[in-house]
Amino acid sequence: MHKELKDKFKGTLIVPFGLAVVLVPFSIFIGWNLITLILFWLILTPVLTICLPTLVSGNKDHLFESLVGLIIFYAIMVFMIYDHYKTDYFQIMILSCMINLILISAITWIKKSSTSTQ
């Protein structure tokens, strides 16, 4: 039980750290416009959120780790840019949080149901 809890903890923390590691160079080198906002928040974020826990966690079901890690990441982001809550960037980020939570849950559920039928 102790190893399972440790794996869940590692799987959860890898998500905000991994997303931050990708966010910083993405922000510095590419910059932000509508296309890059959509690319990062609606494509890269869910893909990384699903894939990162599988790298460090030995658990089979990573939904909990992915969702909690994603919520931690968005909480940090909201805390960091709260002064800009009237900007399009902030609104797209908050909208992507809701979309990504639903999308990751759906993808994990579909993946889980397709592997259980085989």
| CA nearest to 27, candidates 71, 80, 85, 95 | 80
pLDDT at residue number 74: 92
Number of domains in the chain: 1
pLDDT at residue number 61: 78
Segment 35-66, tens digit of pLDDT:
888 888 889 999 999 989 888 877 777 888 89
Residue 58's domain spans which residues?
Answer: 2-112
91 occurs within a structural domain: yes
* Cα 86 from Cα 67, distance rounded (Å): 26
Average pLDDT for runs of 10 along the chain of length 118:
81 92 90 85 91 82 88 90 76 87 90 73
Angle, in degrees to the nearest 10, between helices 63-81 and 88-117: 180
pTM of the model: 0.85
6 occurs within a structural domain: yes
pLDDT at residue number 71: 94
7 occurs within a structural domain: yes
117 occurs within a structural domain: no
* Cα 3 from Cα 70, distance rounded (Å): 22
